[in-house]
Chains A and B, each alone.
Chain A
Amino acid sequence: MDRTVKLLIQRTHGRELMTVAVPEEASILDALEAAYRQDPTLMFRHSCHHASCGSCGMIINSQERLACATSVGTASDEREMIHLEPMHHFPVVGDLAVDMTSFLANLEQINRPLIRQDEAEAPTQALISEGPQRFHRFENCIECGLCISACPIAGIRKDYLGPAVLAAAERLVDEPRGRDLSRVLDAVDRPNGIWRCHDVFLCTEVCPSGVHPAQAIVSLRQALIIHRPGGSKDEAAL
């Protein structure tokens, strides 16, 4: 049995109500794809449909969510209405698709490795000599930008690095894997970096991937205070 869902979408040209029929267990993303079949100009990003690519972040009933991991059932209000808006604090490319370029450039600057050693105890015996000697997996952060959208500071300071970027720096400090940390500490130890956060913790609340950026920011501050008592100019303290 299909369910009728009303999507109130904040499009580039204004709000638009679109009505679609989707299965009971459909996600918001499934509903958007049904809406796209009605209007091929509707813009939104999506790829993996399983909360891995981080491309379908948007605001669903005032809350930062991944459209693929939010079911139409949980998101509908009593009028079966779902409000969809593009993420805050990013330039809008069109409708629900936003421009991630400068966010991704900030992440690239930190350059945290994308692979982490897993928590698994057992070492592997790789079949191929270049294969890994321990199990490993992708870092938790899927770089979806939801934490930036939820952060009130990111809204008032356009140059603020933001939670995901600071959390990436913290991962690197926590597990340096041979990297030179001074460059990363320089990048975050500045007014638009680690010290700009006001401990609102919404980043952790909206993170779909268990990164806990707020926790990471607190840890990174501690690390900086220990490593650099004199502040960013005191290179000798490293």
Chain B
Amino acid sequence: MNAYHAVVIGAGSTGAAIAHDLALRGFAVTVLERGGIASGTTGHNQAQLHSGARYAVKDPVSARECIEENLLLRSLMPEALELNDGLFIGWTDEHLAYREPFLEACALSGIPAREIPVRQALELEPRLNPGLRIAIQVPDGVFDSYRFTLSFAATARKNGAKFLTFTEVTGVDVQHGQVMVLERASGQRRSLGCDVMINAAGPWAPGIAAMAGVHLEIEASAGVMVTVKERLCNMVINLLAPPGDADIIVPQRQNSILGTTSWPVDDPDRIPVPPEHVQSIIDFADLMIPGSRSAPLLGTMAAARPLIRQRGSSGREVTRGYQCIDHTGAGAAGFFSVVGGKTTTARAMAEAMVNLVCARLGLQSECRTRMEHLASFRSGL
């Protein structure tokens, strides 16, 4: 144990992974979550364990983070993952023209990618568009975002971390190291003392930062996902093209999640599901896998990605990389934020965040989350 008490705000994949990392390094940890575990952006998830191939051409930093974490998570939480690889598919001249830059970029980022004969691809995935002209296999996977997050939470709890769910942060006093909360069950308000506050609230992070008197900008980019009650494919199906809308089909359990779209939003609590997005997603899925249209609709959802704000780029162009911020320079010593990233890279984000915290506190403490097999998700709730 070290002498520090860290409060983590947000129990999505990032907050849970941070709690796990902190607990392993001897911090006393309390996680505050206004809802249940993984009830925000992490829950509303297309569930793709990225190989990084999607980002390899334009965003190699994020691509490398994805493949590194993808390979690690396979051994850390095998039961939260469906590992059937992914296919990038194409049927137009444009798709074929993307082959070379795509394979080159995958090779540069260390992502195993291999072109397989069209006939073999159709044997593996008989329902693909029969006009298929190219298929490239990559080590994509599928996660269960709830179990993903609970696995980190379970291990953190085993190592002493406390998760206070249904506990909403209503104020932050950085000066005195106090976090004010509202307990939903009792309606009681109280405050918690701590040495370090880590804001991992995803698209809600700017609001938490504002309570601490800190200005934090993100690009909240919403995406719609459509779930159908049919497993349309075995592998994750991606379009062989620069990342765009509606170009991924993720099979999960007995269903498939189609998506997604990308547009800027202001309020992460009020994200509409535009019917035209739903329609375009279904239409494009039907092009990749004919018949997708007739699969029974299970539901639609939308969530905001908490992307890093970059001057001059928006939506699809914004890096999927992450940023850990020490707000000491802004007059908020002990207050930290993490923004950006992917569920796939949650562990790496946590490592970077806790490294930053330890550096600020002058603690010599090595990250151990690369080796630590995670406990059963069932004890994370």
- Pick the contact of B84: A114, A130, A135, A140 (CB < 8 A): A135
Q: Judging by beta carbons under 8 Å apart, are A137 and B185 in contact?
A: no
The reply on A89 being an interface residue by CB < 8 A is no
Give chain A nearest CB distance to B378 CB in angstroms. Answer: 4
Q: Judging by beta carbons under 8 Å apart, are B255 and A50 in contact?
A: yes
18 contacts between A and B (CB under 8 A): A25-B300, A47-B38, A47-B39, A47-B149, A48-B38, A48-B43, A48-B144, A48-B145, A50-B227, A52-B255, A54-B146, A55-B36, A107-B378, A108-B379, A124-B85, A126-B83, A130-B75, A131-B83
Q: Judging by beta carbons under 8 Å apart, are A48 and B146 in contact?
A: yes
The reply on A45 being an interface residue by CB < 8 A is yes
Q: Judging by beta carbons under 8 Å apart, are B84 and A132 in contact?
A: yes
Name A residues whose Cβ lies closer than 8 Å to a Cβ of B.
Answer: 12, 23, 25, 27, 33, 37, 40-43, 45-55, 68-69, 93-94, 97, 100-101, 104-105, 107-108, 113-115, 118, 120, 122, 124, 126-128, 130-132, 135-140, 142-143, 209-210
Q: 10 additional contacts, CB 8 Å, given A42-B184, A97-B36, A137-B254?
A: A40-B168, A43-B185, A47-B37, A50-B301, A52-B144, A53-B145, A100-B381, A113-B79, A124-B84, A128-B74
> Cβ of B182: which chain A residues have Cβ within 8 Å of it?
40-41
| Nearest-CB residue, chain A, relative to B139 | A127
Complex Cα distance, B71 from A104, in Å, reads 28
Complex Cα distance, B125 from A118, in Å, reads 14
> Cβ of A118: which chain B residues have Cβ within 8 Å of it?
234
Complex Cα distance, B84 from A143, in Å, reads 23
The reply on B269 being an interface residue by CB < 8 A is yes
Given A45-B39, A49-B299, A51-B299, A101-B145 contact (CB < 8 Å): no
- Pick the contact of A132: B83, B257, B376 (CB < 8 A): B83
> Cβ of A40: which chain B residues have Cβ within 8 Å of it?
34, 168, 182, 184
Complex Cα distance, B145 from A27, in Å, reads 20
> Count of B residues near A, CB < 8 Å?
64
Q: Judging by beta carbons under 8 Å apart, are A137 and B253 in contact?
A: yes
Q: Judging by beta carbons under 8 Å apart, are B227 and A51 in contact?
A: yes
> Cβ of A127: which chain B residues have Cβ within 8 Å of it?
85, 112-114, 137-139
Complex Cα distance, B189 from A84, in Å, reads 27
Complex Cα distance, B232 from A137, in Å, reads 13
The reply on B82 being an interface residue by CB < 8 A is yes
> Cβ of B273: which chain A residues have Cβ within 8 Å of it?
23
- Pick the contact of B269: A12, A37, A68, A128 (CB < 8 A): A37
> Cβ of B38: which chain A residues have Cβ within 8 Å of it?
47-48, 53
Given A40-B168, A118-B234, A94-B124 contact (CB < 8 Å): no
Complex Cα distance, B140 from A126, in Å, reads 11
The reply on B45 being an interface residue by CB < 8 A is yes
The reply on B90 being an interface residue by CB < 8 A is no
Q: Judging by beta carbons under 8 Å apart, are B301 and A52 in contact?
A: no
Given A132-B84, A136-B84, A138-B253, A101-B144 contact (CB < 8 Å): no
Q: Judging by beta carbons under 8 Å apart, are B299 and A69 in contact?
A: yes
Complex Cα distance, B254 from A215, in Å, reads 19
The B286-337 residues at the A interface (CB cut-off 8 A) are 298-301
Q: Judging by beta carbons under 8 Å apart, are A48 and B45 in contact?
A: yes
- Pick the contact of A43: B85, B124, B166 (CB < 8 A): B166
Q: Judging by beta carbons under 8 Å apart, are B254 and A210 in contact?
A: yes
Q: Judging by beta carbons under 8 Å apart, are A122 and B123 in contact?
A: yes
Q: Judging by beta carbons under 8 Å apart, are A50 and B378 in contact?
A: no
The reply on B177 being an interface residue by CB < 8 A is no
Highest count of chain B CB atoms <10 Å: which of A42, A53, A97, A143 = A53
> Cβ of A69: which chain B residues have Cβ within 8 Å of it?
298-299
Give chain A nearest CB distance to B123 CB in angstroms. Answer: 6
Complex Cα distance, B147 from A215, in Å, reads 27
Contact indicator per residue, chain B 106-147, by CB within 8 Å of chain A (1) or not (0): 000000111000000001100000000000011100001111
Q: Which 5 A-B residue pairings sit nearest by Cβ, starting from the closest?
A: A47-B43, A53-B146, A50-B227, A94-B185, A49-B301
The B77-100 residues at the A interface (CB cut-off 8 A) are 78-80, 82-85
The reply on B207 being an interface residue by CB < 8 A is no
> Cβ of A25: which chain B residues have Cβ within 8 Å of it?
275, 300
> Cβ of B139: which chain A residues have Cβ within 8 Å of it?
126-128, 131
Complex Cα distance, B93 from A45, in Å, reads 47
Q: Judging by beta carbons under 8 Å apart, are B299 and A68 in contact?
A: yes
| Nearest-CB residue, chain B, relative to A105 | B378
Give chain B nearest CB distance to A106 CB in angstroms. Answer: 10
Give chain A nearest CB distance to B282 CB in angstroms. Answer: 13
The reply on B10 being an interface residue by CB < 8 A is no
Give chain A nearest CB distance to B128 CB in angstroms. Answer: 13
